[in-house]
Amino acid sequence: MSQSSGIVYRPRRLRATPRMRRLVAEARLAAADLVLPLFVKEGIDEPVAITSMPGQLQHTEDSLRQAVEAAARAGVGGVMLFGIPAVRDAVGSQADAPDGILQRGIRIAREAVRTVEAETHRPGPVVMADTCLDEFTDHGHCGVLATSPDGEIVVDNDATLERYAAMAVAQARAGAEVISPSGMMDGQVAVIRDALDDAGFTDVSILAYSAKYASPFYGPFREAVDSELQGDRRTYQMDAANGREGLREADLDLAEGADMVMVKPAGSYLDVLRQVADRSDVPVAAYQVSGEYAMIEAAAANGWIDRKASILESVLGIKRAGADVILTYWAIEIAAWLWADVAAPAAKATEGNQEA
């Protein structure tokens, strides 16, 4: 085309080649950005496949160890542990039991990380624990139930905070490096921080699920944790219509001492994620939840989308929106892809040098 075309700016110049696109990329993924959620179940002898989340498992204690070691070798930044007890009750007693399944899982994960660190001489994943009662209660809610003055069964916010405090301390004693309150109870960060500090765990961090929305995208997760939930959690999880409320929740958690804040789910709330990232002075996480995982896997299995490209684009979009840390069930697989992108050209160049 001649110079008389009148085109002054040609942004396509910066898209012309893979080399150029790599050079000017505004957002980049790294394995260390990723956190792998893992489920450990009490009373099973073999891992159990989660049918609505192809490729994901309810782990035995042995297979949990193997999964954490695999994450460590892949360079993943963290693992988030969820426990599924054999016995549940109204107050989630097993949530803070010293030898409860989640505490056992935490100890196994820490040992697995130390083992791989000794072999590789590289930092392993940070061990994080979900700090919520829903997996441990026989009613499936995230807190202690009570009867309101109107005769309705409700989640008692303040009674639940006492349980969260005990659970957080039990997790810290087991070796959790990050406590992750996900129940959306008012004041949970402050209460947990005080409990950890009083117990001497001043170096244990809090990742607050700050803007956690009530969402149908949690559906497969219910299977993953054998949820007993009846009804919904809309009285404490956030309404999908509200963006400013998500910012207020994040601000409150920051004021209460959260070391990191989270938006969940990620894909439907990238606008909230961006705004939280713009105002936060601590790292911001986002959780690519089970339903987001299941949709891509299902579409890819039917040949409707390119699986790898869709996974990478979905996670890169979360990164671009402002997440410093991304919880995703594809963490190990993505890490392997990222490593292959670096290792393959390097290996080819080394072969060329040897031939020369």
Residue ranges and CATH numbers for the domains of the chain are 27-351 (3.20.20.70)
Catalytic choice (264, 308, 319, 348): 264
How far is residue 106's CA from residue 81's CA, in Å, rounded to a whole number? 7
Which tokens belong to 280? 């936060």
Residue 331 contacts residue 38 (beta carbons within 8 Å) = no
pLDDT tens, N- to C-terminus, the chain (356 residues): 555 688 999 999 999 999 999 999 999 999 999 999 999 999 999 999 999 999 999 999 999 999 999 999 999 999 999 999 999 999 999 999 999 999 999 999 999 999 999 999 999 999 999 999 999 999 999 999 999 999 999 999 999 999 999 999 999 999 999 999 999 999 999 999 999 999 999 999 999 999 999 999 999 999 999 999 988 999 999 999 999 999 999 999 999 999 999 999 999 999 999 999 999 999 999 999 999 999 999 999 999 999 999 999 999 999 999 999 999 999 999 999 998 876 655 555 555 555 44
Residue 117 contacts residue 204 (beta carbons within 8 Å) = no
CA 138, 142, 147, 153 torsion-angle sign: negative
Taking only Cα atoms into account, the Rg of the chain, rounded to an integer number of angstroms, comes to 22
Q: Is 289 exposed, middle or buried (0-12, 13-18, 19+ CB in 10 A)?
A: buried
**How far from 87 is each of 46, 135, 171, 226, 228, CA to CA, in Å?**
19, 10, 18, 12, 12
Residue 352 has a pLDDT of 55
Active site residue 41: no
- The residue among 258, 182, 262, 188 whose CA lies nearest residue 221 is 182
The three-state secondary structure class of 272 is helix
**According to DSSP H, which parts of the chain are helical?**
18-23, 61-74, 101-120, 157-174, 188-198, 219-224, 244-255, 270-279, 290-301, 307-320, 331-355
Q: In the chain, what is the straight-line distance between the N-terminal and C-terminal CA atoms, in Å?
A: 42
Residue 92 has a pLDDT of 98
The model carries a pTM of: 0.94
Residue 230 has a pLDDT of 84
- The residue among 98, 187, 94 whose CA lies nearest residue 134 is 94
Residue 285 has a pLDDT of 98
Supply angle C-alpha 255, 236, 281, rounded to 5. 25
Residue 354 has a pLDDT of 54
Q: Which residues of 241-272 are buried (b: 16+ CB within 10 A; e: fewer)?
A: eeeeebbebbebbbebbbbbbbbbbbbbbbeb
String of DSSP letters for 20-86: HHHHT-S----GGGEEEEEEEETT-SS-EE-TTSTT-EEEPHHHHHHHHHHHHHHT-SEEEEEEE-S
Active site residue 212: yes
How far is residue 286's CA from residue 231's CA, in Å, rounded to a whole number? 26
The three-state secondary structure class of 181 is strand
